[in-house]
């Protein structure tokens, strides 16, 4: 729901920006020729009027003042033509420190107005985020402006009819409302996500969105108008303070989205260094003036954004899906930051492009980063659920086996118990797992197959006439045969999941998970053939033997207890022996025995 609202706000924001461009182009506004010259800070109006007109330089009509960052004081002069209606003078840039406006008619000073963001907002004659004054005369007269600022010295100077200005200004109000509504929606949405999931990345992203809104409000003048109108100190530092804090949280969000700590420790270390740099800059902005710190903040923002963009590209090339969306989002924001930096430095004078470029880019970035953050969180939750299921499965199997071990408090004793249990699970002669361990593993495998509804096959093997062989050659030779047979059977098992056990005496058992009747027959035939063709190396010379094999194949849910399936395999072995030995018998159901192709 919140995402749908944000998408609707973003669409309306784009439409409003386009509409503002059309209205600005068609509005009835006078952009006069502006003459300017640099002067001393203590020059008065009388001193400036004595300077010859040829000394003044001209800015063509329709262009804005754009001098970038400068500590100089500039005077500007425009001539206001005669009109039959009221007019207002509009300076469309909110970060000018000191503005003195003189209206002069027939060598007489009509009015002097002092403005600037070094004064509380309520002292402005017209409450607007930028600077506006009413023109006091309908007759032709001159306007002189003395401007000094620590910010970029740039502004469009326009003369409007009040009604025309209000009509044109409406779209700016709509755009600002949609933009800040979008940011508020995303901030609240991610804050609720944090409260619901306790995932800290949502809280960091919510803070990042709020800081973007405060930064744009400071750059656009709306913050001074509505949020901190009486704090001149905060207005003087809002861009550097919030800019540094925003870059800190932008870097923090980047580490979480790109998972740099796991993906690339080197990238993560450098991002942490940038975060420390932004934190130090935030503290310095409390004590150092805007004019001193802003060039460094702009450079740091561009360099930091470029580095984060390069991190996204690197991880994108490594196949990280989140990095693709992240790179697209950061590319838009970086472009707008570069446009703004160039504008503030005086390389171009379009305040309209600069203002709405960073709004549009930051809105796009906020939407895309929120999207990729939600995707990453969902994927992380899925991975955690899968891991939890795996852990639950293993824990269920280990509880019965490891109860005694988990109660032990001494590591040394625990290791000794494990070693002792391992030895008790092995057959001392053949090295295979013994019948005791078979009972444990059989129960576990039976439960697993029962849960999955899969097939479990049990194979029992017996050496033919083994007692006669012991009686004739002695038990030492019988042991040699058992040892070599165990190794031969292990070599001929097909899969890692197939497990071989010495059941007792000359009997062996094989557990075959997920093996159907055809696979069981093939393996039984392979084992019988391998034994029949093998010459056993004994103290009495080469010796050949045969084996009888009984196989039980059934879905685990056919039987209630694993001992029932083992009994079926034992019955199959009995039938193989009864058929004359060196035989294979397969039973899929106890009442319906099947005959092997080798019989």
Do 145 and 188 reside in the same domain of the chain? no
Do 154 and 52 reside in the same domain of the chain? yes
Do 471 and 357 reside in the same domain of the chain? no
Of 338, 366, 384, which marks where a domain is finished?
A: 384
Do 423 and 562 reside in the same domain of the chain? yes
Q: Is 169 left (phi over 0), alpha (psi -120 to 50) or beta?
A: alpha
Considering only CA atoms, which of 327, 351, 330, 329 is closest in space to residue 339? 351
Do 53 and 198 reside in the same domain of the chain? no
| Three-class secondary structure of residue 149 per DSSP | coil
> Is there a domain that residue 176 lies in?
no
pLDDT of residue 163: 87
Do 137 and 190 reside in the same domain of the chain? no
> Is there a domain that residue 589 lies in?
yes
Strand order in the sheet with 29-30: 29-30, 157-160, 88-91, 131-134
> Is there a domain that residue 14 lies in?
no
Considering only CA atoms, which of 3, 456, 393 is closest in space to residue 188? 3
Do 287 and 376 reside in the same domain of the chain? yes
The list of the chain residues with pLDDT below 70 reads 1-27, 322, 332-358, 373, 376-377, 379-381, 383-384, 387, 396-422, 556, 589-599
DSSP states along 363-395: HHHHHHHHHHHHHHHHHHHHHHHHHHHHHHHHH
Do 272 and 358 reside in the same domain of the chain? yes
Distance (Å, whole) CA 324 – CA 360: 20
Number of H helices, E strands in the chain: 17, 20
Do 196 and 131 reside in the same domain of the chain? no
pLDDT of residue 10: 44
> Is there a domain that residue 370 lies in?
yes
| Cα-Cα end-to-end distance for the chain | 70
CB 372 within 8 A of CB 326: yes
Do 126 and 59 reside in the same domain of the chain? yes
Quote the tokens at residue 423. Answer: 């030895």
DSSP states along 292-351: HHHHHHHHHHHHHHHHHHHHHHHHHHTT-HHHHHHHHHHHHHHHHHHHHHHHHTTS---H
Range of the domain at 528: 419-595
Give the CATH number for residue 469.
3.30.70.270
Q: Is 465 left (phi over 0), alpha (psi -120 to 50) or beta?
A: left
Give the CATH number for residue 112.
2.60.40.2380
The label of the residue with tokens 């030492």 reads: 476
> Is there a domain that residue 402 lies in?
no
pLDDT of residue 36: 92
Considering only CA atoms, which of 415, 6, 4 is closest in space to residue 187? 6
pLDDT of residue 598: 40
> Is there a domain that residue 328 lies in?
yes
> Is there a domain that residue 414 lies in?
no
> Is there a domain that residue 44 lies in?
yes
Do 251 and 378 reside in the same domain of the chain? yes
Do 364 and 250 reside in the same domain of the chain? yes
- pTM metric for this prediction: 0.57
CB atoms near residue 477 (< 10 Å): 17
The enclosing H or E element of 563 equals helix 562-578
Q: How many domains does the structure of the chain reveal?
A: 3
């Amino acid at each position: 729901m919140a995402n749908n609202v944000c998408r609707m706000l973003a669409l309306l924001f784009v439409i409003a920006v386009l509409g503002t461009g059309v209205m600005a182009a068609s509005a009835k506004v006078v952009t006069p020729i502006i003459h300017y010259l640099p002067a001393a800070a203590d020059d008065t109006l009388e001193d400036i009027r004595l300077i010859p007109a040829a000394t003044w330089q001209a800015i063509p009509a329709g262009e804005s003042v754009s001098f970038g960052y400068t500590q100089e004081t500039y005077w500007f002069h425009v001539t206001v033509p005669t009109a039959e209606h009221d007019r207002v003078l509009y300076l469309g840039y909110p970060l000018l420190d000191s503005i003195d406006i003189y209206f002069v008619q027939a060598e007489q000073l009509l009015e002097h107005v002092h403005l600037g963001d070094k004064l509380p907002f309520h002292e402005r004659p017209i409450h607007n985020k930028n600077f506006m004054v009413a023109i006091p005369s309908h007759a032709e007269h001159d306007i002189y402006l003395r401007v000094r600022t620590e910010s970029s010295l740039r502004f469009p100077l326009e003369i409007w009819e009040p009604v025309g200005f209000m009509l044109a200004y409406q779209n700016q109000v709509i755009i600002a409302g949609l933009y800040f509504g979008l940011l508020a929606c995303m901030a609240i949405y991610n804050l609720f996500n944090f409260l619901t999931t306790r995932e800290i990345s949502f809280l960091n992203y919510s803070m990042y969105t709020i800081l973007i809104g405060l930064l744009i409000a400071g750059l656009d003048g709306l913050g001074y108008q509505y949020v901190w109108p009486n704090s001149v100190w905060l207005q003087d530092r809002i861009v550097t303070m919030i800019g540094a804090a925003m870059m800190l949280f932008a870097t923090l969000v980047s580490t979480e989205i790109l998972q740099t700590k796991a993906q690339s420790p080197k990238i993560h270390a450098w991002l942490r260094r940038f975060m420390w740099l932004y934190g130090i800059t935030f503290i310095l902005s409390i004590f150092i003036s805007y004019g001193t710190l802003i060039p460094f903040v702009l450079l740091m923002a561009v360099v930091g954004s470029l580095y984060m963009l390069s991190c996204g590209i690197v991880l994108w090339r490594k196949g990280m899906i989140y990095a693709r969306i992240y790179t697209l989002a950061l590319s838009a924001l970086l472009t707008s930051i570069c446009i703004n930096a160039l504008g503030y430095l005086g390389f171009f004078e379009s305040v309209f492009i600069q203002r709405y470029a960073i709004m549009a880019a930051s809105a796009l970035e906020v939407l895309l980063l929120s999207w990729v953050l939600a995707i990453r969180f969902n994927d992380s939750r899925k991975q955690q659920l899968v891991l939890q299921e795996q852990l639950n499965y293993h824990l269920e199997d280990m509880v019965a086996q490891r109860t005694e071990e988990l109660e032990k408090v001494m590591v040394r004793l625990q290791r000794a118990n494990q070693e002792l249990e391992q030895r008790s699970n092995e057959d001392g002669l053949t090295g295979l797992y013994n019948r005791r361990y078979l009972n444990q593993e059989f129960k576990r495998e039976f439960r697993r197959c029962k849960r999955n509804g899969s097939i479990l096959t049990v194979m029992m093997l017996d050496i033919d006439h083994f007692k006669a062989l012991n009686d004739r050659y002695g038990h030492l030779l019988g042991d040699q045969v058992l040892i070599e047979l165990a190794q031969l059977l292990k070599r001929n098992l097909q899969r890692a999941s197939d497990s071989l056990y010495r059941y007792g005496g000359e009997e062996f058992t094989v557990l075959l998970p997920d093996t159907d009747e055809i696979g069981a027959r093939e393996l039984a035939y392979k084992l019988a053939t391998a034994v029949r063709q093998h010459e056993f190396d004994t103290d009495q010379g080469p010796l050949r033997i045969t084996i009888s094999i009984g196989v039980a194949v059934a879905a685990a849910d056919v039987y209630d207890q694993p001992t029932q399936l083992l009994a079926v395999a034992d019955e199959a072995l009995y039938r193989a022996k009864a058929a004359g030995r060196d035989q294979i018998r397969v039973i899929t159901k106890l009442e319906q025995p099947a005959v092997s192709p080798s019989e």
